[in-house]
Copies of this chain bind each other. A is one copy, B any other.
Amino acid sequence: MIAIGGATRLYALLGDPITQVRAPGLLNPVLARRGTDAVLVPVHVPAAALPEVVAGLRQVANLHGMLVTVPHKAALLDLADRATDRAHRAGSVNALRREADGTWSADTFDGDGFVRGLVAAGHDPRGRRVCVVGAGGAGSAIAVALLDAGVAALHLADTDRARLATLGGRLSAAYPGRVDAASRPRLADVDLAVNATPVGLRPTDPPPFPVSELPARAVVADIIMTPAETALLRAARDRGLPAHPGEPMLTHQIDGYLDFFGL
């Protein structure tokens, strides 16, 4: 860990809850090894306070970037001054940086990190049929990256019908004929099912969808990192299905963050 002094550049990770976040524990040792005088700190921001907190943080002259996790990924797209095409398609961001002129640019690395982690684990999604459960910040970014990676069909599911319709409509327009959306997960015909909801963060959470409905050999992926084994992944293992945990999505984003922030 770098020794923090007056010249240390700040990076803030915004989320609610916050204690489960893994990025500071992964990124700060990388910065320290490189001798970079910068630190990523967890910043616990309740949703109702987000606009006021971001308005304040934007004015902090030694804050050079923000990372964003649940539940703020969609809201931060609107609070940034500009965002990449993939972030607009996803409707969410997970990283913002201060430009030289003081404005803030945003991008999302969730989807790219998720797909790279999946490929590294031997589960290339190209040509596969997938179900993404959760059309929030992470789910939308993952859906975009899976479509960009060439999945044959993507079923999107979310109990929030307004959110589902918005993302489903946007993705159907951008990737015609490959996307459908339903409030209940469509699991019977997929090669990969992804939990992109926060269900599983609490130790008492049940699986967010029934693995019993999946075909044999379907891969079950969770984006939750803490706990490392959620009820969903446990259920997948119990059924003998390949279980893909949350951590690779983050570890495969680290290089993207460092490039984006110029660190």
Contacts and interface: CB of A to CB of B under 8 A. Distances in A.
Interface in A35-69: 39-46, 49, 52-57, 59-63
A6 interface: yes
A4 B28 contact: yes
Nearest to A49: B59
Max count, chain B CB within 10 A of own CB: residue among A2, A44, A55: A44
Max count, chain B CB within 10 A of own CB: residue among A6, A40, A63: A6
A10 interface: yes
A208 interface: no
Interface footprint category on A? 35 or more
A172 interface: no
Tally of this chain's copies: 2
Contacts of A7: 18-19, 42
A53 B46 contact: no
A24 B62 CA distance: 15
Contacts of A22: 6
Contacts of A57: 53, 56
Given A4-B24, A44-B63, 14 more contacts: A3-B25, A3-B29, A4-B28, A4-B42, A6-B19, A6-B22, A8-B41, A16-B61, A18-B62, A43-B62, A43-B63, A45-B60, A45-B61, A54-B56
